[in-house]
């Protein structure tokens, strides 16, 4: 059985990188910033563009070929790679004192590159947290502290090794960073049972906008601790580590994959899936990847093959599953298998899951939607037969229901809860010129598809998932040195619904001058009556 088509495709399209670095003109504030850092951070942890290691480090965790050329043409003033909380604090204090902003990078998977690339004419430094990646598991308490520079794969491996019987519900791709993903949610095939990664954060430590270290939720206060569990990275402070509630997993789980072509009634199966999948038992998730006239159903069941086959034959006979579609394994094997496929038979799990490097792949653009009312079979027929031309695109459908529907919209910043049938991610990939960074050739599949879908998905506002960052939903305007609430509301209410206002009030409390900001950071809500 092969790993899902999309990831396999992305993995085969490896682009080679060739480019040059333009060295920025150093304003005196930049010199002062570097000088300030040099007194508090060991010099080998601060790289400037003149260093031969600078470019490889900058590019090391870029996950979207579209951003390689822009990032190297407009590089940060320096990259700081802290090994200690005090280095993070120094970066914030020096940055504030000398007018240098920070872009914080954990795994570097931000869909719009905001952790290492600024679209604005501003002096910024990258704070790359990759060296802060320890995981401390407490099997007896069923908790773990994970440093925010760890990848999801490193977390999974540490948990699976230290505590068989325990797991953690986060995303599918092992190279994604904990820092970005857990700040914005973190969905995966255990969310119907246990919620998002952010729903299972029970404590955290953070460096705030003044450079103070707040070591736990008590020091943070309720509103800040609420905001960092789903309100998105890059707005409220720099998370150093999260304390997680680990979850129970059985000795064997079952992964099941079935592909249906249009000739095998894929349209009917997906139509039915829309209402069946969100109502299945919580310990069973079936997601779908729709691409080029076929649908790949990928399923995780927290139990044995015989049980899931009997449940699916009963509840979803159209899928026609048999035990031949199953693969039983430990939870730790599963988290590697869903991404690397049969490579787990020949490569040790630590080699797969601890590897932070991933081929850079093609140019990418993603958008997202939420569906509350099932689409008709005629609409699905139209999607399956969409003329795609040379462009490559796919839809990934992630079922909600279960635990996702039992958490109230305002309990955490992530508002897409009860009533949601599923999330759609539209993925477009194409081969651009990595060195030139030519984005003018962006195929328009994704935007015409997104426009077509408007009547069928959530409205007023049309909702989106914060972790599938999409700058086409809107970007902040800066007035008087501060991002405006009005401009933020345009994209912010799509990601956070009614919670956006509370996030903006929290921002005002913890970072009123908007030091931590980017094109889509939460702006401070200033309560001025007109």
Ligand X SMILES: *[C@@H]1O[C@H](CO)[C@@H](O)[C@H](O)[C@H]1NC(C)=O
Ligand Y SMILES: Cc1cc2nc3c(=O)[nH]c(=O)nc-3n(C[C@H](O)[C@H](O)[C@H](O)COP(=O)(O)OP(=O)(O)OC[C@H]3O[C@@H](n4cnc5c(N)ncnc54)[C@H](O)[C@@H]3O)c2cc1C
What does the block give as tokens for 149? 């520079």
Site for ligand Y contains 129 (CB under 6 A): yes
The sign of the CA dihedral 210, 467, 490, 460 is negative
Query: CB under 6 A: which stretch of 12-20, 185-193, 256-264, 276-284 binds ligand Y?
Result: 185-193
Residue carrying the six token digits 């409220």: 236
Q: Which one-letter DSSP state was computed for residue 191?
A: H
Min dist CB 141 to ligand Y, Å, is 23
Nearest residue (CB) to ligand Y, 305 versus 362: 362
Contacts of 139 (CB under 8 A, 6+ apart): 162, 163, 166
Site for ligand Y contains 336 (CB under 6 A): no
How far apart (Å, rounded) are the C-alpha atoms in residues 366 and 387?
A: 19
357, interface contact from ligand Y, ligand X, none, CB < 5-8 Å by kind: ligand X
Site for ligand Y contains 185 (CB under 6 A): yes
355, interface contact from ligand X, ligand Y, none, CB < 5-8 Å by kind: ligand X
| Phi-psi category of residue 460: left, alpha or beta, with phi > 0 → left and psi -120 to 50 → alpha | left
Query: CB under 6 A: which stretch of 234-242, 243-251, 320-328, 442-450 binds ligand Y?
Result: 234-242
Min dist CB 140 to ligand X, Å, is 32
Nearest residue (CB) to ligand X, 37 versus 319: 319
The binder of ligand Y chosen from 114, 256, 312, 453 (CB under 6 A): 114
The binder of ligand Y chosen from 65, 123, 158, 239 (CB under 6 A): 239
Q: Applying CB under 6 A, which residues contact ligand X?
A: 6, 10, 63-64, 109, 111, 267, 351, 355, 357-359, 364, 366, 377-378, 381, 396, 425, 427
Query: CB under 6 A: which stretch of 30-38, 178-186, 314-322, 371-379 binds ligand Y?
Result: 178-186
Nearest residue (CB) to ligand Y, 233 versus 278: 233
Nearest residue (CB) to ligand Y, 272 versus 469: 469
How far apart (Å, rounded) are the C-alpha atoms in residues 159 and 354?
A: 12
Residue carrying the six token digits 């459908």: 397
Nearest residue (CB) to ligand Y, 103 versus 417: 103
Nearest residue (CB) to ligand X, 181 versus 330: 181
Query: CB under 6 A: which stretch of 99-107, 215-223, 276-284, 302-310 binds ligand Y?
Result: 99-107
Q: How many Cβ atoms are within 10 Å of 18's Cβ, its own excluded? A: 10
Q: Which one-letter DSSP state was computed for residue 109?
A: -
Min dist CB 112 to ligand X, Å, is 7
Site for ligand Y contains 224 (CB under 6 A): no
How far apart (Å, rounded) are the C-alpha atoms in residues 399 and 277?
A: 6
Residue carrying the six token digits 């007896």: 140
How far apart (Å, rounded) are the C-alpha atoms in residues 222 and 368?
A: 30
Would you say 129 and 104 are in contact if contact means Cβ atoms under 8 Å apart? yes
Nearest residue (CB) to ligand Y, 231 versus 384: 231
Min dist CB 7 to ligand Y, Å, is 8
Strand partners, 395: 290, 426
Min dist CB 496 to ligand Y, Å, is 15
Would you say 246 and 142 are in contact if contact means Cβ atoms under 8 Å apart? yes
Q: How many Cβ atoms are within 10 Å of 447's Cβ, its own excluded? A: 15
214, interface contact from ligand Y, ligand X, none, CB < 5-8 Å by kind: none
179, interface contact from ligand Y, ligand X, none, CB < 5-8 Å by kind: ligand Y
Q: How many Cβ atoms are within 10 Å of 35's Cβ, its own excluded? A: 11
3-state secondary structure at position 285: strand
Min dist CB 377 to ligand Y, Å, is 28
Q: What binding mask, one character per residue, do residues 51-80 give for ligand Y by CB under 6 A, x or -?
A: ------------x-----------------
Min dist CB 306 to ligand X, Å, is 31
Residues near ligand Y (CB under 6 A), total: 33
Site for ligand Y contains 107 (CB under 6 A): yes
Would you say 187 and 195 are in contact if contact means Cβ atoms under 8 Å apart? no
231, interface contact from ligand Y, ligand X, none, CB < 5-8 Å by kind: none
Site for ligand Y in 439-478 (CB under 6 A): 467
Site for ligand Y contains 245 (CB under 6 A): no
Would you say 500 and 414 are in contact if contact means Cβ atoms under 8 Å apart? no
Q: What angle do CA 107, 110, 113 make, to 5 degrees?
A: 110
Min dist CB 359 to ligand X, Å, is 5
Nearest residue (CB) to ligand Y, 234 versus 488: 234
Buried b (16+ CB within 10 A) or exposed e, 483-513: bbbebbbebbbbbbbebbebbbbbbbebbee
Cis peptide before 145 (omega within 30 of 0): no
528 φ/ψ angles, rounded to the nearest 5 degrees? -110, 125
Q: Which residues form the interface with ligand Y (CB under 6 A)?
A: 63, 103-111, 114-115, 129, 148, 171-173, 176-177, 179-181, 183-188, 233-234, 238-239, 467
């Amino acid at each position: 059985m092969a790993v899902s088509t999309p990831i396999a495709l992305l993995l085969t399209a490896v682009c080679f990188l060739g480019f040059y670095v333009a060295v920025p003109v150093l304003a005196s504030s930049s010199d002062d910033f570097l000088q300030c850092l040099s007194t508090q951070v060991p010099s080998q942890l601060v790289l400037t563009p003149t260093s031969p290691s600078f470019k490889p480090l900058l590019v090391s965790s870029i996950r979207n070929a579209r951003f390689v050329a822009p990032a190297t043409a407009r590089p940060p003033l320096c990259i700081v790679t802290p090994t200690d909380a005090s280095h993070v604090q120094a970066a914030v204090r020096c940055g504030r004192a000398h007018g240098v902003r920070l872009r914080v990078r954990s795994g570097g998977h931000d869909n719009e590159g905001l952790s290492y690339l600024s679209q604005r004419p501003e002096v910024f430094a990258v704070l790359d947290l990759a060296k802060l990646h320890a995981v401390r598991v407490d099997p007896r308490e069923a908790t773990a502290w994970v440093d925010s520079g760890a990848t999801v794969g490193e977390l999974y491996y540490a948990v699976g090794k230290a505590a068989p019987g325990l797991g953690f519900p986060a995303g599918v791709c092992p190279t994604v960073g904990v820092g970005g993903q857990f700040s914005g949610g973190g969905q995966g095939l255990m969310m119907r049972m246990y919620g998002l990664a952010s729903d299972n954060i029970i404590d955290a430590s953070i460096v705030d906008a003044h450079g103070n270290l707040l070591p736990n939720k008590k020091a943070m206060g309720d509103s800040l601790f609420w905001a960092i569990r789903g309100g998105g990275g890059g707005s409220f402070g720099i998370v150093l580590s999260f304390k997680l509630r680990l979850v129970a997993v059985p000795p064997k789980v079952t992964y099941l994959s079935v592909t249906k072509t249009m000739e095998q009634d894929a349209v009917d199966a997906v139509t039915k899936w829309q209402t069946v999948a969100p109502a299945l038992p919580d310990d069973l998730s079936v997601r779908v990847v729709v691409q080029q006239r076929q649908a790949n159903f990928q399923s995780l069941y927290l139990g044995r093959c015989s049980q899931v086959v009997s449940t699916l034959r009963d509840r979803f006979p159209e899928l026609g599953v048999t035990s031949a579609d199953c693969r039983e394994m430990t939870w730790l094997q599963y988290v590697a298998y869903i991404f690397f496929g049969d490579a787990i038979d020949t490569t040790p799990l630590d080699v797969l899951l601890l590897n932070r490097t991933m081929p850079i792949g093609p140019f990418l653009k993603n958008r997202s939607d939420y569906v509350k009312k099932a689409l008709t079979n005629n609409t699905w027929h139209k999607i399956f037969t969409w003329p795609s031309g040379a462009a490559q695109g796919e839809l990934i459908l992630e079922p909600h229901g279960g635990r996702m529907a039992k958490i109230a919209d305002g309990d955490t910043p992530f508002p897409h809860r009860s009533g949601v049938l599923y999330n759609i991610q539209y993925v477009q990939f194409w081969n651009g010129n990595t060195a030139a960074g030519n984005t003018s050739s962006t195929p328009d599949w994704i935007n015409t598809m997104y426009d077509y879908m408007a009547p069928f998905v959530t409205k007023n506002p049309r909702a989106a998932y914060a972790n599938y960052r999409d700058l086409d939903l809107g970007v902040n305007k800066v007035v008087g040195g501060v991002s405006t609430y009005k401009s933020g509301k345009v994209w912010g209410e799509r990601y956070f619904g009614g919670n956006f206002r509370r996030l903006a009030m929290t921002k005002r409390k913890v970072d009123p001058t908007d030091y931590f900001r980017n094109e889509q950071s939460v702006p401070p809500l200033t309560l001025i009556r007109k």
